[in-house]
């Protein structure tokens, strides 16, 4: 078991949700008679949920700084509508319309950030206001009528990568190329990291965990590549999924590897301590709120692409889906805790539940009930695991006695 | 059975996963005495009290508790309170927005016909407040009281529950000298009314002043218990038992090597952010030489912390004028990050609320004030971070098995070392230490003192703010005194004693510094 | 114990790989039991072209917007019973009025290998990409009750003539005013349906084609002056929003006047209007309706609501099932009544005639509907 730990890199606890997700997929695959793990269903999972997951990226950052954004659904709807209207009614080229929609998103973000950062209005209230303002705005500018979107946008919301090259590969070659790049990147980064750690520690780090990690990663990526690439001809890894992956990489880097990212966690963990460490708290609030609305605009535009039209009720309730993803991903309500990766897993848990229950023909009513229960269960599980005195369930599954004894619970020490 | 004992805890053992927090602790408390429990942080004092009060319910520990002649089996705090055992915690637990009466009867409301009888509650509150020597309107909101008064209200609340055994956990840690003295006086009064007190404390002078018996706990075991005569306690004996070794001198020897004046503040004026027109710093001027340790003495509320925080990038109050010179160059530092950039570091007085992000681990805390130093190609470099953290863990002797350990799991002394490490990593020229040894045990204090000396020897200008006059006298080269926002004097510590300092700290008519 | 658990987990993982690893080639379509794609059928072309049909027990998907009103609840039940009776494997799902939910439900139906998908859209213009995906998988898409706009992925739409419905509502309003409120001029107000529903503007247009001449000649007076569809629309067909609007109209314009009649696009809104009028102390105005909901049938029978328009769900479902059977038999889409441009293509539309119901003809109108007949007592 120690070997497993070495391969996965420390804390097994963070894999709890991943295990739950895999289990969920398998259960649904069996229960639906083999309809879950298919190329088209996985493509749908990404295309159909990319917008929520993109919102969840921004929402994670907002929740980490200890705020909340209730307006994202309305902002998504508003920006999508602005984009559709400029393209259809003003006859702007599609790319100009998209830029306009994103620009409006940034402006809205600056507006919300102004109230939160400069005036110190709690995010909850600021964005509750924003929720109403921009929902009203959508209905106002659209006159409550759906507006068709430029055809090019469908590519962003529901498109696929091009087909090219030889057919003997048996799959979409663009997807294959992506998979190869991903595996190569994984191997490169792992090896580089290993090289630098062993330089640091005097060259005695064992190589086998790294190699095992690369092989395991390659198998998973390879399998997914094959799954996405071998669907109906003309389909591939979906464009919205690709946009999502790129965003996840960018935002993972921002949150984990930049000063701004550290500042987000510092402000959320202890605002006063952060201020005394030289963090500009207001600026951090402002940029995080601004970023949220920008991502909301992007999500809204992608959704319009998938729907082929912008509707007056676009975005209704999306904020709640995004918030649920973040909390299932283990973020703390009080702020300071949570990662993009875990949030994505949380979002996928919701998406897989939705999809699996639909495949089984369960109605929207019961689906809602089940999703609600899962949200509660996931957060309760997290809280239980973090409580002093409880040995986490993952640890119970994987650990041997001595490792449990070594890591004492914090409660044992006096404050 | 000995009738004179109100409480006997026999062979108490409490095990947490992986840690034996208490290992056969025995405690005997006589009826009507003031019994002090001392021990380093992490020794098991608080755990013992949690066992006694039912926070850790009967059955979750081994051993026996005999209380008032019967074996006690408390399942929760409610049961122990019912039996007359009340704990007053280090962190006060009252609700600031509610009134004194509401707080005192919270969870224990005076009910008549199913409704709260506020008249009766107020009446009883007045009586209770009298008993603790407070003359206040029972409708005053708690937030309007000072910390010392709040502490007394907590005790009044305990009295309302017919307390027989009162446990005070570090009762004076947040109080100034006058309030502390007042509280100790009250404890003597309670003793005469047949209320037994257990006091957990670090402050040896207080223990010496009022205790009838002392129990020392170290590493989850009882080291020794002995009866003492109040006012005649051998402090060195207690220290020896606590740390398991004798500390010859509580302040390490140090030969100062002051250099040129590096840090110079003149005419510094700051207005209170909440009360317009009230100045918290009135035209303050002082200087610090390289390699010099300069103490700042003042009573609670005199404006020491306010002055330091406003110097540190205007972090407190509204700046109304004044200038800072560092090595002769005038500084413009309106933000904290500019202050850090300029080479100033401020270690705040309250570790938990101002010094640390309690979610972080040691690694992330050490670099948090100087992320620039671990950048590589615009991104944070975790290898550099690890190196920095390991280096400080070693040099500061932080006791933790890895730098990935969360800071909440550390003892107070180690937390403070992490905070010091965080500021040393910014490579400052001027280090402002605000109450650097508050709430940490004797052993850790000694190490912190040594660190301060090392910093001075490196040529840093060190400012030491402290409420403990012996500490200032033992550590500083010069001491400034502050009274109501004004610097009222400066003394060479060779010439100073507690009396002289206290005179300057309370009397604004004393001579201004040159 | 711990070891066994982790072994189990590992085994489950292997199993999943094995399960999915087989029988799922690039050309096998979406799933192993996915439609043996009508690769011979020219799926791009519209309707009417005879195809090979499909097996009798095939899967049919029905996606409804929600089950919050009686007509959709009825449709839900009727589709289930009628299609099951015809031997099909039926999936009926409702989307809680959320567009993304409906998109995903339709995708799940494609996954489930449906041969025909019947879509009662929440917003007829927001399903474009998904329906085109269904088309590409060789599935027939039939719009139910509402037009599917802005997509090439539709083979036909079954609905009641919406313009005609509007005309009938307006005519019933005029008849009612003459019957109940003596000679004109009459004070009236206008309400429209949910703007996201493509039928709503059509109802309104149909109604205005009857009412506008009477407004012009002074027989009818719209006191508030709100005669534009966007002014009168009721977002999401939400009764409470309609009631709030009626409240404010009454307090704003009718403090010293009587409101004689109100054009209402459906029964829920009609009842909201009547309730608001009663609460404002008005004599109950003549109010039109639509859908013949149970509650409103009772109200019509007791005289509180003047009329409703029955769009018998059984007729609509019956027509849809008839088309599905024709497709199954290989006879393609039957000939349509009219063709309507949906923004991308001309869609064949099967229009069914609605029936106006007042107190006078209620018994005859529901002669074949024992449930509603029961209410007329």
Residue A22, min C-alpha distance to chain C (Å):
8
d(CA B51, CA B65): 9
Q: Read off the pLDDT band of C221 (50, 70, 90).
A: very high
Is A412 close to B369, i.e. CB distance below 8 A?
no
Mean pLDDT of all residues in C221-240: 88
Mean pLDDT of all residues in C232-237: 85
Tokens of B110: 């005076």
pLDDT per residue over A56-107, tens digit each?
A: 999 999 999 999 999 999 999 999 999 999 999 999 999 999 999 999 999 9
Is A312 close to C196, i.e. CB distance below 8 A?
yes
Share of chain C above pLDDT 70, in %: 86
Task: Note the pLDDT of residue A60.
Answer: 97
CB environment A137-155: b (16+ within 10 A), e (fewer)? bbbebbebbbbbbbeebbe
Which of A114-128, A170-184, B78-92, B313-327 has the least mean pLDDT? B78-92
The yes-or-no verdict on residue B341 having pLDDT over 80 is yes
Task: Note the pLDDT of residue C169.
Answer: 93
Mean pLDDT of all residues in A349-360: 88
Q: Please name the residues in contact with A166: beta carbons below 8 A apart, sequence gap of 6 or more.
A: A173
Q: Please name the residues in contact with B141: beta carbons below 8 A apart, sequence gap of 6 or more.
A: B96, B97, B98, B99, B100
| Residue C223 Rama label (left phi>0; alpha psi -120 to 50; beta) | alpha
Which of A56-60, A229-233, C22-26, C87-91 has the least mean pLDDT? C22-26
d(CA B87, CA A159): 66
Contact with chain B for residue A415, Cβ under 8 A: yes
Is B409 close to A404, i.e. CB distance below 8 A?
no
Burial class (CB in 10 A: 0-12, 13-18, 19+), C302: exposed
Three-class HEC string of B1-52: CCCCEEEEEEEEEEEECCEEEEEEEEEEEECCCEEEEECCCCCCHHHHHHHH
pLDDT per residue over B14-69, tens digit each?
A: 887 666 788 888 899 998 899 998 877 667 888 888 899 888 888 889 999 999 88
Is B408 close to A258, i.e. CB distance below 8 A?
no
Mean pLDDT of all residues in A159-174: 86
The yes-or-no verdict on residue A115 having pLDDT over 90 is yes
- Which positions in chain B touch A269 (Cβ < 8 Å)? 357-360
pLDDT per residue over B77-102, tens digit each?
A: 888 888 899 988 877 678 888 899 88
Share of chain A above pLDDT 70, in %: 89
- Which positions in chain B touch A411 (Cβ < 8 Å)? 16
> Between C263 and C44, whose confidence is greater?
C263
Tokens of A72: 């994202």
Mean pLDDT of all residues in B269-286: 88
Is A389 close to B411, i.e. CB distance below 8 A?
no
Task: Note the pLDDT of residue B289.
Answer: 95
d(CA C108, CA A350): 15
- Mean pLDDT for all residues in chain C: 84
- Is residue B425 a contact partner of residue B392, using CB atoms and an 8 Å limit? yes
Task: Note the pLDDT of residue C156.
Answer: 94
Residue numbers of A between 101 and 160 with CB closer than 8 Å to C: 139, 143-146, 148, 154, 157-158
Helix (H, G, I), strand (E, B) or coil at C94: strand
Is C111 close to A354, i.e. CB distance below 8 A?
no
Residue B399, min C-alpha distance to chain A (Å):
13
Task: Note the pLDDT of residue B511.
Answer: 43
The yes-or-no verdict on residue B206 having pLDDT over 50 is yes
Q: B462 forms bridges with which residues in the sheet?
A: B293, B431
* CB nearest A407 (choices: B18, B339, B354): B18
The yes-or-no verdict on residue C318 having pLDDT over 70 is yes
The yes-or-no verdict on residue A391 having pLDDT over 60 is no
d(CA B62, CA B14): 6
The yes-or-no verdict on residue B458 having pLDDT over 60 is yes
Note the ipTM here.
0.81
Share of chain B above pLDDT 90, in %: 32
The yes-or-no verdict on residue A398 having pLDDT over 60 is no
Mutate to test the interface with A, among B359, B387, B403, B433 (most CBs of A within 10 A): B359
- Mean pLDDT for all residues in chain B: 86
Tokens of C68: 């919050």
Q: Do chains C and B touch (3 or more CB pairs under 8 A)?
A: no
CB environment C333-362: b (16+ within 10 A), e (fewer)? beebeeebebbbeebbbbbbebbbbbeeeb
C-alpha distance from residue B15 to each of B18, B147, B407 (Å): 8, 35, 22
- Which positions in chain C touch A148 (Cβ < 8 Å)? 125, 149-150, 343
Residue C376, min C-alpha distance to chain A (Å):
32
Mean pLDDT of all residues in B294-309: 88
CB environment B365-397: b (16+ within 10 A), e (fewer)? bbbbbbbeebeeeeebebeebbebbbebbeebe
Q: What are the DSSP E strand ranges found in C183-264?
A: 186-190, 220-222, 261-263
Mean pLDDT of all residues in B401-419: 88
Q: Helices (H) and strands (E) in chain A — how many of each?
A: 18, 2
Task: Note the pLDDT of residue B249.
Answer: 65
> Between C262 and C67, whose confidence is greater?
C262
CB pairs under 8 A between A and B: 119
The yes-or-no verdict on residue B411 having pLDDT over 90 is no
The overall pTM is greater than 0.90: no
Task: Note the pLDDT of residue B374.
Answer: 92
Is A223 close to C17, i.e. CB distance below 8 A?
yes
Cis, peptide link before residue C185, omega less than 30° from 0? yes
Contact with chain B for residue A389, Cβ under 8 A: yes
- DSSP H or E stretch at residue A215: helix A208-229
Q: Do chains A and C touch (3 or more CB pairs under 8 A)?
A: yes
Helix (H, G, I), strand (E, B) or coil at A147: strand
Is B18 close to A391, i.e. CB distance below 8 A?
no
d(CA B292, CA B254): 11
* CB nearest A158 (choices: C2, C129, C195): C129
pLDDT per residue over C275-285, tens digit each?
A: 999 888 889 99
Tokens of B99: 């009134």
The yes-or-no verdict on residue B123 having pLDDT over 50 is yes
Q: Read off the pLDDT band of B217 (50, 70, 90).
A: confident
Mean pLDDT of all residues in A222-239: 90
Task: Note the pLDDT of residue C369.
Answer: 81
Contact with chain B for residue A280, Cβ under 8 A: yes
The yes-or-no verdict on residue C25 having pLDDT over 90 is no
Q: B464 forms bridges with which residues in the sheet?
A: B295, B433
Q: Find the closest chain B residue to A268 by CA distance.
A: B357
Q: Read off the pLDDT band of C255 (50, 70, 90).
A: confident
Q: Read off the pLDDT band of B230 (50, 70, 90).
A: low
Contact with chain B for residue A119, Cβ under 8 A: no
- DSSP H or E stretch at residue B295: strand B293-298
- A-contacting chains (≥3 CB pairs under 8 Å): B, C
d(CA C302, CA B466): 87
Q: Read off the pLDDT band of A206 (50, 70, 90).
A: confident
d(CA C324, CA C57): 12
Mean pLDDT of all residues in B395-421: 88
Which of A381-395, B408-422, C136-150 has the least mean pLDDT? A381-395
The yes-or-no verdict on residue A364 having pLDDT over 60 is yes
């Amino acid at each position: 078991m120690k070997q497993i730990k070495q391969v996965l890199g420390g804390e097994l606890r963070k894999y709890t949700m991943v295990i739950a997700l895999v289990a969920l997929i398998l259960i649904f695959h069996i229960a639906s008679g083999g309809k879950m793990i298919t190329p088209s269903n996985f493509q749908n999972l990404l295309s159909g949920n990319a917008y929520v997951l993109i919102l969840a990226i921004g929402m994670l950052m907002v929740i980490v700084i200890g705020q909340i954004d209730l307006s994202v659904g309305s902002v998504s709807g508003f920006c999508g509508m602005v984009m559709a209207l400029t393209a259809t009614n003003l006859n702007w080229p599609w790319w100009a319309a998209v830029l306009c929609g994103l620009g409006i998103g940034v402006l809205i973000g600056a507006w919300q950030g102004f109230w939160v950062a400069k005036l110190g209005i709690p995010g909850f209230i600021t964005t509750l206001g924003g929720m109403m303002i921009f929902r009203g705005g959508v209905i106002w500018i659209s006159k409550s009528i759906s507006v068709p979107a430029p055809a090019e946008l469908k590519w962003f919301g529901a498109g696929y990568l091009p087909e090219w090259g030889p057919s003997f590969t048996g799959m979409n070659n663009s997807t294959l190329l992506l998979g190869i790049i991903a595996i190569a990147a994984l191997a490169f980064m792992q090896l580089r990291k290993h090289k630098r750690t062993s330089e640091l520690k005097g060259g005695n780090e064992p190589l086998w965990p790294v190699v095992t990690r690369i092989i395991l990663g390659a198998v998973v990526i390879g399998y997914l590549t094959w799954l996405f690439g071998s669907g109906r001809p003309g389909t591939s890894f979906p464009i919205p999924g690709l946009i999502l992956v790129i965003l996840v990489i960018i935002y993972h880097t921002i949150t984990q590897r930049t000063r701004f990212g550290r500042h987000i966690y510092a402000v959320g963990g202890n605002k006063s301590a952060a201020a005394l460490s030289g963090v500009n708290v207001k600026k951090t609030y402002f940029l995080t709120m601004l970023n949220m609305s920008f991502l909301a605009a992007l999500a809204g535009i992608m959704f319009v692409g998938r729907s082929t039209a912008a509707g007056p009720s676009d975005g209704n309730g999306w904020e709640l889906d995004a918030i649920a993803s973040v909390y299932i991903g283990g973020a703390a309500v009080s702020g300071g805790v949570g990662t993009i990766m875990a949030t994505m897993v949380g979002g996928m848990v919701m998406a897989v539940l939705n999809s699996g229950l639909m495949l089984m023909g369960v109605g929207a009513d019961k689906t809602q009930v089940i999703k609600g229960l899962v949200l509660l269960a996931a957060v309760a599980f997290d809280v239980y695991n973090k409580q002093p005195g409880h040995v986490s369930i993952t640890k119970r599954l994987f650990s041997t006695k001595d490792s449990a004894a070594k890591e004492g619970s914090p409660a044992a020490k006096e404050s | 059975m000995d009738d004179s004992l109100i409480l006997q805890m026999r062979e108490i053992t409490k095990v947490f996963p992986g840690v034996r927090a208490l290992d056969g602790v025995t405690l005997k408390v006589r009826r009507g005495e003031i019994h002090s429990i001392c021990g380093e942080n992490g020794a098991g004092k608080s755990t013992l009290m949690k066992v006694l009060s039912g926070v850790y319910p009967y059955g979750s520990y081994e051993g026996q508790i005999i209380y008032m002649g019967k074996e006690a089996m408390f399942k929760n705090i409610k049961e122990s309170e019912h039996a007359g055992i009340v704990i007053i915690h280090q962190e006060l637990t009252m609700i600031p927005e509610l009134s004194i009466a509401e707080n005192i009867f919270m969870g224990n409301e005076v009910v008549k016909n199913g409704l709260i009888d506020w008249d009766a509650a107020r009446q009883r509150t007045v009586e209770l407040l009298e008993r603790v020597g407070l003359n206040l309107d029972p409708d005053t909101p708690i937030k309007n009281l000072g910390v010392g008064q709040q502490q007394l209200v907590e005790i009044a609340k305990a009295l309302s529950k017919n307390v027989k055994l009162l446990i005070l956990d570090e009762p004076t840690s947040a109080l100034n000298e006058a309030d502390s003295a007042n509280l100790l006086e009250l404890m003597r009064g309670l003793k005469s009314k047949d209320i037994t007190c257990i006091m957990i404390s670090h402050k040896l002078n207080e223990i010496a002043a009022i205790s009838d018996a002392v129990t020392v706990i170290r590493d989850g075991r009882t080291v020794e218990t002995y009866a003492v005569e109040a006012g005649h306690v051998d402090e060195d004996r207690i220290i020896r038992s606590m740390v398991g070794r004798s500390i010859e001198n509580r302040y390490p020897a140090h030969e100062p090597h002051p250099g040129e004046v590096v840090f110079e503040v003149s005419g510094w004026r700051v207005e209170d952010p909440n009360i317009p027109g009230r100045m918290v710093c009135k035209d303050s001027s002082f200087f610090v030489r390289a390699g010099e340790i300069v103490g700042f003495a003042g009573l609670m509320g005199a404006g020491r912390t306010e002055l330091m925080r406003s110097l540190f990038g205007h972090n407190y109050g509204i700046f109304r004028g004044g200038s800072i010179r560092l090595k002769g160059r005038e500084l413009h530092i309106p933000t904290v990050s500019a202050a850090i950039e300029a080479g100033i570091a401020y270690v705040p007085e309250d570790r938990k609320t101002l010094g640390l992000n309690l979610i972080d681990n040691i690694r992330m805390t050490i670099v948090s004030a100087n992320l620039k130093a671990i950048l590589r190609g615009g991104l944070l470099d975790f290898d550099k971070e690890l190196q920095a953290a390991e280096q400080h863990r070693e040099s500061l002797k932080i006791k933790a098995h890895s730098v990935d350990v969360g800071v909440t799991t550390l003892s107070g002394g180690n937390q403070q070392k992490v905070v010091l490490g965080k500021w040393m990593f910014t490579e400052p020229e001027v280090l402002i230490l605000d109450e650097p040894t508050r709430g940490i045990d004797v052993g850790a204090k000694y190490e912190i003192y040594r660190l301060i000396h090392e910093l001075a020897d490196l040529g840093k200008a060190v400012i030491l703010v402290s409420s403990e006059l012996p500490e200032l006298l033992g550590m500083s080269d010069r001491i400034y005194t502050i009274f109501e926002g004004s610097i009222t004097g400066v003394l060479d510590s060779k010439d100073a004693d507690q009396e002289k300092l206290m005179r300057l700290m309370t009397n604004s008519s004393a001579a201004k510094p040159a | 114990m711990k070891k066994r658990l982790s072994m189990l987990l590992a085994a489950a993982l292997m199993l999943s790989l094995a399960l999915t690893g087989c029988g799922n080639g690039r050309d096998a379509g979406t799933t192993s039991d996915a439609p043996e794609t009508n690769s011979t059928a020219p799926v791009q072309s519209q309707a009417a072209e005879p195809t090979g049909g499909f097996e009798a027990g095939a899967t049919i998907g029905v996606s409804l917007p929600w089950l919050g009103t009686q007509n959709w609840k009825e449709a839900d039940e009727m589709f289930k019973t009628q299609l099951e009776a015809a031997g099909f494997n039926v999936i009926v799902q409702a989307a809680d009025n959320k567009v993304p939910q409906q998109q995903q439900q339709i995708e799940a139906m494609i996954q489930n290998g449906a041969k025909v998908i019947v879509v009662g859209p929440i917003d007829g213009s927001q399903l474009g990409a998904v329906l085109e995906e269904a088309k590409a998988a060789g599935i027939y898409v039939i719009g139910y009750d509402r037009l599917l706009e802005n997509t090439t992925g539709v083979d036909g739409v079954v609905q009641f003539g919406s313009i005609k419905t509007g005309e009938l509502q307006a005519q019933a309003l005029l008849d009612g005013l003459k019957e109940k409120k003596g000679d004109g001029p009459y004070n009236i107000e206008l309400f429209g349906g949910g703007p996201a529903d493509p039928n709503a503007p059509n109802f309104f247009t149909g109604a205005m084609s009857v009412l506008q001449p009477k407004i012009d000649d002074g027989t009818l007076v719209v006191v508030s002056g709100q005669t534009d569809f966007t002014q009168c629309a009721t977002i999401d067909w939400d009764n409470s929003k309609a009631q709030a609007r009626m409240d404010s109209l009454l307090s704003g314009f009718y403090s010293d006047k009587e409101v004689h009649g109100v054009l209402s696009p459906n029964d829920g809104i009609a009842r909201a209007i009547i309730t608001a009028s009663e609460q404002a102390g008005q004599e109950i105005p003549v109010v039109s309706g639509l859908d013949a909901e149970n509650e409103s049938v009772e109200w019509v029978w007791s005289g509180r609501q003047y009329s409703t328009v029955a769009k018998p769900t059984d007729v609509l479902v019956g027509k849809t099932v008839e088309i599905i059977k024709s497709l199954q038999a290989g006879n393609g889409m039957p000939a349509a009544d009219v063709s309507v441009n949906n923004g991308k293509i001309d869609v064949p539309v099967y229009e069914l005639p609605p029936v106006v119901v007042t107190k006078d003809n209620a018994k005859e109108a529901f002669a074949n509907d024992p449930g509603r007949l029961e209410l007329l007592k």
